[in-house]
Amino acid sequence: MYHIKQHFTHPITDKLVDLPSGFNPLSSTPSSGALDFIRGNLFQPGLMTPLPHDLPGPDNDLNEKLDQIIQRAMADEEAAVYAFGERWGPEQGKADKYFGFVPGNGIHDIHMNQGNVGSFIADDGVWQDGGLLLHFPLQQQWTAVFLKFQSQSWHTDDTTGHTIAADDDNGGAVNPDPIIPNPTESLPDGLVRIVAALINSKQSPEKEWIHILNTSDRVIDLAGWHLVDKQKARMPLSGKLEPSAMLRIDIQPPVALSNKGGIITLLNQKGLKVHGVSYTKQQANQPGWTVVF
């Protein structure tokens, strides 16, 4: 499955522009600049599309879509490509299999690296997902390429990266039936959505808030739910959200919405991610204005 975001905006890009060319090890933490498809709120899961890697005909497989982006970067002397994954090599005395340079070395696992099944469960971890980010400075544009296997889960343990079973009340258990996940009533994805936030208030001290929307046809009891910021501080929620209703939630310590960019995540009573958004420093630089997601 893939998602290509031609105009990618996320606070992570501010961390990347100062990195030197070459290999840069990143710790598996929220502040290092590493990727996590689930916890980093890089994109909405529903945007990922299954697509064969190679099909006859123009612009209908993943190879061709990737080639268009890479060819654009190759034609732009100012462009930079950031490949997230695991380094392999250098293979002394052995030429690269595809490009011929010596010694062969590069980056692989440029895809989601958690929520795996079978023997690949051993590769699970958090804040270690792969991906491609391309920067086009002259156009002030970032483009992102995200890939995952259909068998990988969107709900994983915060420590191990292992799949959490949909009916697991305790959290942290590997799914005992590791098959390709299917959307079910028990999965919370997008049930309640964060639709807007006042991040940079004109008031002193600042009073921040978010709006959440119940997209379902049922009453949602928010008891046990939490709002989480980019520092992983948690704020408990309460009350009931009527069908199709919107609710304003005033931000209370320890949660804070940084004016320098951040992420906002909504967790249900089982600790499963329901929805998450991100915003940049540029989006938060107008006091009193509401950011719409």
92 has a pLDDT exceeding 60: yes
- Cβ–Cβ < 8 Å for 191, 155: no
Q: Which tokens in the block code for residue 65?
A: 């879509």
249 has a pLDDT exceeding 60: yes
Between the alpha carbon of residue 212 and those of residues 220, 227, 236, the distances in Å are: 12, 11, 14
pLDDT at 243: 96
22 has a pLDDT exceeding 90: yes
**Mean per-residue pLDDT, 230-258:** 96
**Mean per-residue pLDDT, 139-167:** 92
Dihedrals phi, psi of 151, to nearest 5 degrees: -80, -10
**Mean per-residue pLDDT, 111-115:** 97
Report the percent of the chain where pLDDT is more than 70. Answer: 91
Which pTM does this prediction carry?
0.85
* Confidence band for 166, pLDDT divided at 50, 70 and 90: low
pLDDT per position as a tens digit, 268-280: 999 999 999 999 9
Domains of the chain by range and CATH?
A: 2-147 (no CATH), 192-292 (2.60.40)
167 has a pLDDT exceeding 80: no
pLDDT at 141: 97
Mean pLDDT of the chain: 90
Residues 40 and 59: their CA atoms lie apart, in Å, by: 30
Any residues with CB less than 8 A from the CB of 28 and at least 6 apart, and which?
Answer: 34, 125, 126, 127, 128
